[in-house]
Structure 1
Amino acid sequence: MGASYHQFCPVAKAMELLDERWTLLVVRELVSGSERFNELRRGLPRMSPTLLSRRLHQLVRAGVVERRVDGADVRYVPTAAGRELRPVLEALGAWGVRWIGELGDADLDPKLLLWDMHRHVDHGVVPPGRTVVRFRFRDVPAGLRDWWLVIADGEADVCDQDPGHDVTVTVTADLRALVQVWLGDLGWPAALRTGAVEVAGPETLRRAAPGWFTLSPFAAVPRP
């Protein structure tokens, strides 16, 4: 628990736990379905493992998260108190979409974009069997340029190395443009028309590919 504000206001008491750096982002990952330490690290790649461990311990101690151990498998699962933070996070995110300005270049991260996208695959419309979407970002350093999303059996996995499977479609994009599509600031048709995003592959799959993703939950937030 952070330092006390010494105020009886419930907002102040809640923020003694929640306004420490990274804490709400850890909760964001937990309520989005990440349960294992390595999954949390993929959603929070710039957070040190030591600080992540500390924040998880604080959340467990506060009763927001339950630590479940089964042999070597350790999972962190939101309690009822943790689950109740979902609408708080949704409201914060919607406010951020509406009132926080332009994204800086340092805010654009292909790893985070693909991690978010893999959680919003519409498995009901993806072709049966294994679907591999290769992403190539034209404007990022070589080590972060190529990514693969492997979709099969109702699950999706993000790879930063070629998994060796046949590629179904290839999406080539400016990183900022695909982030804007993902957040709902740029429609797929406009992005494709201008060439900011290109999809290559057999025509039926190429046309269907945008519909394989349900977009960020914040894409539908009305802009002011």
Structure 2
Amino acid sequence: MPPRRSYDQYCSAARALDVVGDRWTLLIVRELLAGPRRYTDLHADLPGVSTDVLASRLRDMERDGLATRRRLPPPGAAYVYELTGRGRELLPVLQALGEWGQGELGERRPTDAVRAHWFALPLLRGLEGVGEGLVEVRLEEGRFHLHAGAEEGPVYGDGPAPREPDALLVLDTATCTALSRGELSLTRAVRAGRVEVTGEGPLAKTLRET
């Protein structure tokens, strides 16, 4: 592989940007926080990226120890990409970047793509300090689930929760957008009746009581 481009600056921020500063890299990390993903799935959920650029970024991420590629056993027999421990350490970086960028969202433009699971990280921020557990989220765009407080494994995933969730959140796009923009906290949205919370787990009870 060609050598990695570098700012050639003895600064930890510059060194970090040497690794993750290229266009698309952090968004690939966002997708891989959902767990192992096939190349075709990554390409489908990163509208606008070319196949050449995606393949190049994944190679760079393998080289830099952020992601690995492995072959699933039969009958799957497909290759998947997944984050290493080093790659997963970028979660708080993405969370901080997302919080910083709340004011940049504005109104959704006609050209803006959207996926339901892109709201996962803002909702995880909203759950910080509230509790831990498996949360299923139902939006107009679709369903996804969160692993609030998880230290290992996927942070979120597409579709319904793989087991009975500790809490089920039902909300509309306007409420989720307000949460993503930082205009509304999750607990305030629950109190205002904009988020319906069901479930008998401690997390659901805490949300209903806050």
* Stretch moving more, 18-27 or 70-79: 70-79
Q: What residue number does 2:71 align with? A: 69
RMSD of aligned Cα (Å): 4.2
- Structure with bigger gyration radius: 1
Q: What residue number does 2:177 align with? A: 179
| Pairing 1:106–2:109 present | yes
Q: TM-score, normalised by structure 2?
A: 0.57
8 Å CA contact 2:105–2:181 kept in 1: the answer is no
Q: What residue number does 1:84 align with? A: 89
Distance 2:135 2:95 in 1: 26
C-alpha distance 110-188 of structure 1, shift in aligned 2 (>3 A): farther
Give the SS at the match of 2:109.
helix
8 Å CA contact 1:43–1:115 kept in 2: the answer is no
How far the C-alpha of 1:181 sits from its partner, in A, is: 3.8
Distance 1:87 1:118 in 2: 13
How far the C-alpha of 1:52 sits from its partner, in A, is: 1.4
Q: What residue number does 1:22 align with? A: 24
Match of 1:59 among 44, 58, 61: 61
Distance 2:191 2:94 in 1: 30
8 Å CA contact 2:33–2:88 kept in 1: the answer is yes
How many equivalent residue pairs?
Answer: 166
Q: Deviations over 1:89-140 (max 9, x none)?
A: 222223333xx4452422995732x1235797998677xxxxx9572xxxxx
Distance 2:199 2:51 in 1: 35
Distance 1:109 1:154 in 2: 32
Distance 2:110 2:32 in 1: 21
C-alpha distance 210-103 of structure 1, shift in aligned 2 (>3 A): farther
Q: What residue number does 1:95 align with? A: 100
Distance 2:9 2:139 in 1: 52
Q: What residue number does 2:118 align with? A: 116
Match of 1:154 among 163, 168, 178: 163
C-alpha distance 107-11 of structure 1, shift in aligned 2 (>3 A): farther
Amino acid across the alignment from 2:183: D
Query: What 5-or-longer segments of structure 1 have no aligned partner?
Result: 127-131, 136-146, 157-169, 193-198, 200-206, 215-224
C-alpha distance 148-95 of structure 1, shift in aligned 2 (>3 A): closer
Amino acid across the alignment from 2:49: M
Q: Deviations over 1:5-52 (max 9, x none)?
A: 222223222212211111111122223435322332344223223321
8 Å CA contact 1:108–1:176 kept in 2: the answer is no
Distance 1:47 1:12 in 2: 25
Amino acid across the alignment from 2:41: E
Amino acid across the alignment from 1:75: V
8 Å CA contact 1:108–1:179 kept in 2: the answer is no
Give the SS at the match of 1:151.
coil
% same residue: 32
Give the SS at the match of 1:44.
coil
Q: TM-score, normalised by structure 1?
A: 0.54
